[in-house]
Amino acid sequence: MVDHEKIKSITNDVYNRFYLAIKNLDLSYESWEKIISLSNEVAGKHNDDRLCKDLLLAYTDEFERASMNGGRK
């Protein structure tokens, strides 16, 4: 059975605690340290759940892609 509450919790947490915190950063070394730290924190909270890790990677990739294109997709 699908655990919809778990999916909702992970999805909301990754967006609200991770992506909203990184979306306006630049690609500096300090920013990447923050991204890694937040990513580890959120993943740890969810016991390194695969969905959580996949979402963190997707948001990080999108952040990097948008940053490299001057904020455009």
Other beta carbons within 10 angstroms of residue 56's beta carbon come to 21
Query: Is 10:54 a contact under the CB 8 Å cutoff?
Result: no
Read off φ and ψ for residue 24, nearest 5 degrees.
-105, 10
Find tokens 């909270």 and name the residue: 45
Domain parsing of the chain, residue ranges:
26-73
pLDDT > 70? residue 71: no
The predicted structure's pLDDT at residue 72: 52
pLDDT bin (cut points 50, 70, 90) of residue 55 is very high
Give dist(CA 61, CA 22) in Å, integer. Answer: 12
Biggest distance spanned by C-alpha atoms of the chain? 43
What predicted TM-score, i.e. pTM, was given to this entire model? 0.88
